[in-house]
A = this chain, B = another copy of it.
Amino acid sequence: MTAFEKLRIQNSNGKFIAVGLDADINKIPQHLKSSANPVLEFNKSIIEATKKFAGAYKINFAFYEAEGKSGIENIESTLSFIPSDVLTIADGKRGDIGNTSEMYAKAIYDRLHFDSATLNPYMGEDSLKPFLNYKDKLNFILALTSNPGSGDFQKSEMKEGGFLYQSVIQKVTRWNTSKNCGIVFGATNPDELKININSFGDLPVLIPGIGAQGGDLEKITRILGRSKNINFLVNVSRGILYKNNTSEFATAAREEIVRLNNLIKSYL
């Protein structure tokens, strides 16, 4: 089964949330901090509690790299807790010249066996190609991100018409000959989502920016719902992980993901 098919099944089962595992040692519940590996303990409990409801788990590499090699071990161990029907996303926003991107792809797909990855398009087609050569994987390429800095370059107007992020979307639809591409489109841009959604074709969409960043779930989901046949994942990190920081954190995380899936279904 390809990663794209896996995502489609998750969506058809009413699972729309990517749980962002941005495990921050400073934010996890106090009572876990005395355990031998607090972050892993935390991730394990979150996954245990949410795995029946999660469309995907997104592992934000920065949070693990900040812990050095034990962080890398934690990525591997965390992946082992995730059931095989749930999509795994390596969130590293990689992109480099060909022989280097090949090594990144090897790290993410061959060594860690992720289903999908986030990629940065700035360096163009040959920087993405080594990832796109993995036909069964799903490569989410940054189009319009959720942060304020998306205004600096992504929303620059191009001489040929449109904005830079639209030119990225256009090219990604062209590079998607193996149906293994998707795009990242930030929830903080509902107007842009409305205007552009028809240009996505069947590219699945990874949507960060709900919660701490201020994206409006209802607006975004209603737009997605009006378009037919779009597969998507709404990423929620802090809003699920740190909903509650007592010993009830995992139950609170489960309740939150169930609530979010239901909300999304009601808006679609």
Q: Which listed segment binds B: A9-17, A147-155, A191-199, A226-234?
A: A147-155
Instruction: Give complex CA distance A72, B128 in Å.
Output: 23
Q: Which residues 41-61 of A sit at the B interface, judged by CB distance below 8 A? A: 60
Copies of this chain, count: 2
A257: min CB distance to chain B, Å: 21
Output the residue of A107, A160, A171 with the most chain B CB within 10 A: A107
Chain B's closest residue to A104 (CB) is B62
Please name all residues of chain B whose beta carbon is closer than 8 Å to the beta carbon of A69 when the two chains form the complex. 69, 72-73
A125-B97 CB under 8 A given contacts A66-B106, A69-B69, A158-B157: no
Instruction: Give complex CA distance A104, B104 in Å.
Output: 16
A120: min CB distance to chain B, Å: 5
- CB atoms of A124 and B148 under 8 A apart: yes
A62-B96 CB under 8 A given contacts A122-B142, A159-B159: yes
Q: List 11 A–B pairs whose Cβ atoms lie within 8 Å, in order of A's numbering.
A: A60-B103, A62-B101, A66-B106, A69-B73, A120-B123, A122-B145, A123-B142, A128-B149, A153-B164, A156-B167, A157-B159
